[in-house]
Amino acid sequence: MPLEILLVLVVGGIVGITVLLHLSGRSRVRELTPQTARSEWLRHAPDDVIIDITIAHDKRSALIRTETGNGLLWSFGADTVARHLLDFDWIDHPEGFEIQLHDFGTPKALIRLDDFERPHWQNLMDPA
């Protein structure tokens, strides 16, 4: 098969898959509610006992308080990412906080917070 035809087939296939995923709704960013945050956290960490869930106003991130400590859950496209806040740094960002996790697999996350919720999250995330 000539390379030109193969290239057209590959590019057409990728575009077709992208369009199908978008039309089926799988490209939307997942919005978190207390129920979905609880179920998503337990999907990532099934042995945790959740004490409290704080959802950001943009519904893209949640601070999860468990018996063993705090955790962070955020939307990553149509899926979620959950990490325990054991070894991290948080840096002020114009849109909220940038959480730098000392984890090779998840180096950082931007948590968008408004001016009202920023002090509350800072208080909850402060280890002291």
What CA–CA distances, in Å, run from 94 to 91, 112, 115?
A: 10, 9, 10
- pLDDT beneath 70, residues of the chain: 127-128
Record the pTM.
0.79
| pLDDT tens-digit map of 90-101 | 899 999 999 998
| pLDDT tens-digit map of 96-121 | 999 998 888 887 889 999 999 999 99
Query: Residue 63: which of 34, 91, 39 has the closest Cα?
Result: 34
Strands (E), the chain: 50-55, 61-66, 69-76, 79-84, 88-93, 96-101, 108-112
